[in-house]
Amino acid sequence: MKYIVRYWGQIKRSAGASEETIELDTEPTIADLLERLASRHDETFRMLVLDDAGRPRPSLVVIVDDEQLPLDSSRRLPDGASVTLLPPIAGGTPT
């Protein structure tokens, strides 16, 4: 199974790329995919996508093929899916 993963914000900086392709033997859940990605990158990346217990961070937004999925979804990601990871966005100019 092949997946294109796109990164935004701090996750993009930590991954050192705006996207990557990952191949897996089985169709993963979101949690499975995040764990696999965390094992490929450094500790900063891991801290951005997983909490101390190894679960997806509640503040993380995951979009799969134009649909935002809940982080605890047990749905398997289909082969060829495009996955976008967005960290929490803060900042801007107060009015």
Domain 2-86 superfamily per CATH: Beta-grasp domain (3.10.20.30)
Q: Is the pTM of this model over 0.85?
A: yes
Q: What tens digit of pLDDT does each residue of 14-23 get?
A: 999 999 999 9
∠ CA 65-90-20, nearest 5°, is 35
Cα 30 to Cα 27: distance, rounded to the nearest angstrom: 10
CB contact at 8 A, 26 and 11: no
Q: What tens digit of pLDDT does each residue of 39-83 get?
A: 999 999 999 999 999 999 999 999 999 999 998 889 999 999 999
